[in-house]
Amino acid sequence: MRVVSIVGTRPQFIKVAPISWRSRDLCEHLIINTGQHYNPELSDDFFKELNIPSPVENLYSGSGNHGEQTAKILSRTEEVLLKLTPDRVLVYGDTNSTIAATLASVKLGIKTGHVEAGLRSFNRGMPEEINRVGTDHLSDLLFAPTKAALQNLVDEGLAEKSYLVGDVMVETLNYMRNKVLTKNLTASEKIFTTIHRAENTDNKERLRFVINNLAKSPIPIHLYAHPRLVSKAKEFSIELSQGSIKVFKPASYLKTVTEILESKGVITDSGGLQKEAYILGRPCLTIRSETEWSATIESGWNELDLNLNRIRDQWWSKVGEPINESVFDGVNSSFRILELLLK
Ligand code: UD1
């Protein structure tokens, strides 16, 4: 059987990796890159580092307003799917690439599976929430990473096509962690930090507030600046390198894992990083009003800190406490997905 995975952004390259490794014995697996992320440090470098074959097609869709970007990906994906004639398609996560690829695929009558289905923030103001809900309702097979995600799908009447399969990101993280752990790392005086969500970057006052508060941190903030953050800061004339903040380029996956392990904690508005911080045993402050990864909050390792109030307290002293390894299950998740998909 021919399976085509459609990805386009950094977190999707991380999610497709275990599917690509595992499919070698089970089916023909081809990757289409929509090109939503085009900076090498957000795209090409990941393919090499994660040991996955280069995409068979690059759609070079790039940036744009939501309608423009989604439409470009939709029409270019349709063209390529007509050429490749896959038996199955896999889409990943919640980006504009996900919803566009799903629309193209299901309308061509191709059986389509959604990896990381059922996540909800219940905030319709987030573009990702619209993408998730749309993708889940359109896809044929829904692969939920956690029980909470599965329950969301059941609540929306999607139980019949939904399966609890575990989390492919945990599989990738474990692969990388094994490479890193040979180095024997310890936490030092810095906080691994990323900001890229529209709700934090796209409003001048909000972005100024976030940066001003990070700058006052008593522990150095190592800010790995996403291109969206850099371009918005420039547009609003906000200096990122101020006070405690030290700015770095976006890190490769191996570097990210290494840096988290060498930090006392993480501050982020990313989804995946909240989970990675937890699994790597580092406390996290999330600059958002809600999260799709509620288990990280329930476990006591993650706090929603929209106004960065907690940055000055003892939050970071948790390093070294044990975590519950079974909260995120990454064992054979990619195999379970492929088994269900290839039926
Ligand atoms: C996208 C996803 C988000 C995901 C994130 C991971 C959507 C709606 N959002 O957000 O869910 O968490 O990827 O990083 O799909 N840019 C560059 N070079 C690049 C990519 C982006 O300069 O390679 C800049 C451009 O100014 C662009 C802006 O970043 O306009 C936003 O990029 P876009 O891909 O639209 O969204 P992300 O913020 O990356």
- Cα separation, 187 vs 234, whole angstroms: 32
Provide the residue type at 269 as one letter.
D
**What are the two backbone dihedrals, phi and then psi, of residue 82, each rounded to the nearest 5 degrees?**
-65, -35
> For residue 97, which atom of ligand 1 is closest to its CA?
15
Alpha-carbon Rg of the chain, whole angstroms?
19
Give the pLDDT confidence score for residue 326 in this predicted structure.
87
- Identify the CA nearest to 230 among candidates 42, 5, 43, 23: 42
Catalytic residue among 29, 114, 196, 222: 196
* Angle at alpha carbon of residue 271, lines to 177 and 24, rounded to 5°: 50
Q: What is the DSSP string of 172-199?
A: HHHHHHHHHHTT-----S-EEEE---HH
226 is catalytic: no
Region of 54 on the Ramachandran plot (φ > 0 left; ψ -120 to 50 alpha; else beta) = beta
Cα 182 to ligand 1 centre (Å)? 33
Q: Which residue has the tokens 């319709």?
A: 124
Q: How many other CB atoms are found less than 10 A from the CB of residue 217?
A: 18
Residue-level pLDDT at 8: 98
pLDDT in tens, 150-175: 999 999 999 999 999 999 999 999 99
Statement: residue 256 has pLDDT above 90? yes
Q: What is the DSSP letter of 200?
A: H
Q: How confident is the model at residue 181 (pLDDT cuts 50, 70, 90)?
A: confident
Distance separating alpha carbons of residues 85 and 92, to the nearest angstrom: 19
Question: Tokens 């191709």 belong to which residue?
Answer: 110
Q: Of 343, 335, 342, which Cα lies nearest the Cα of 165?
A: 335
Q: Whole-angstrom distance between the N-terminal and C-terminal Cα of the chain?
A: 10
pLDDT at 279 over 80: yes
User: What is the whole-number distance in angstroms between the Cα of residue 26 and the centre of ligand 1?
Assistant: 33
Give the pLDDT mean for 197-205. Answer: 97
Strand, helix or coil at 10? helix
CB 244 within 8 A of CB 268: no
Residue with the smallest CA separation from ligand 1 atom 13 is 9
Handedness of CA 61, 67, 70, 74 (dihedral sign): negative
Residue 45 CB less than 6 A away from ligand 1: no
If you average pLDDT over residues 35-52, what whole number do you get? 93
3-state helix, strand, coil in the chain (%, to 5): 45, 15, 40
φ, ψ of residue 247 to 5 degrees: the values are: -100, 135
Residue 131: per-residue pLDDT: 98
Which of 16, 37, 207, 229 most suits a substitution to test ligand 1, by most atoms within 8 Å of the C-beta? Answer: 37
The model's confidence at residue 257, banded by pLDDT at 50, 70 and 90, is very high
pLDDT band, residue 270 (cuts 50/70/90): very high
Mean pLDDT of 170-196: 91
Burial of 243 (0-12, 13-18, 19+ CB in 10 A): middle
Residue 184 has pLDDT above 80, yes or no: no
Residue 297 has pLDDT above 80, yes or no: yes
Q: Is the pLDDT of residue 245 over 90?
A: yes
Pocket probe for ligand 1: among 9, 13, 231, the residue whose CB has the most ligand atoms within 8 Å is 9
- What pLDDT, on a 0 to 100 scale, did the predictor assign at position 186? 85
Q: What angle do CA 217, 219, 221 make, to 5 degrees?
A: 75
Stretch 178-192: mean pLDDT: 87
pLDDT band at 320 (very low <50, low <70, confident <90, very high): confident
Question: What pLDDT does residue 301 have?
Answer: 96
Cα–Cα distance, 275 to 149 (Å, whole number): 14
Q: Give start and end residues of each alpha helix (H) in the chain.
A: 10-23, 44-49, 66-84, 96-107, 127-138, 147-155, 168-181, 198-201, 204-215, 227-235, 253-261, 272-279, 294-298, 333-341
Q: Among 7, 15, 16, 36, name the best residue to mutate to test ligand 1's pocket (greatest count of ligand atoms within 8 A of Cβ).
A: 36
Phi (first) and psi of residue 7, to 5 degrees: -135, 170
Residue 122's pLDDT band (cuts 50, 70, 90): very high
Please tell me if the CB atom of residue 96 comes closer than 6 angstroms to any atom of ligand 1: yes
Q: Which atom of ligand 1 is nearest to the CA of 93?
A: 11
Taking the C-alpha atoms of residue 98 and residue 47, their distance in angstroms, rounded to an integer, is 19
Q: What's the length of the chain?
A: 343
CB-count exposure of residue 83 (10 Å: 0-12, 13-18, 19+)? exposed
Confidence of residue 243 (pLDDT cuts 50, 70, 90): very high
What's residue 274's pLDDT? 97
When the pLDDT of each residue in the chain is averaged and rounded to a whole number, the result is 96
Rounded CA-CA distance 235/91 in Å is 33
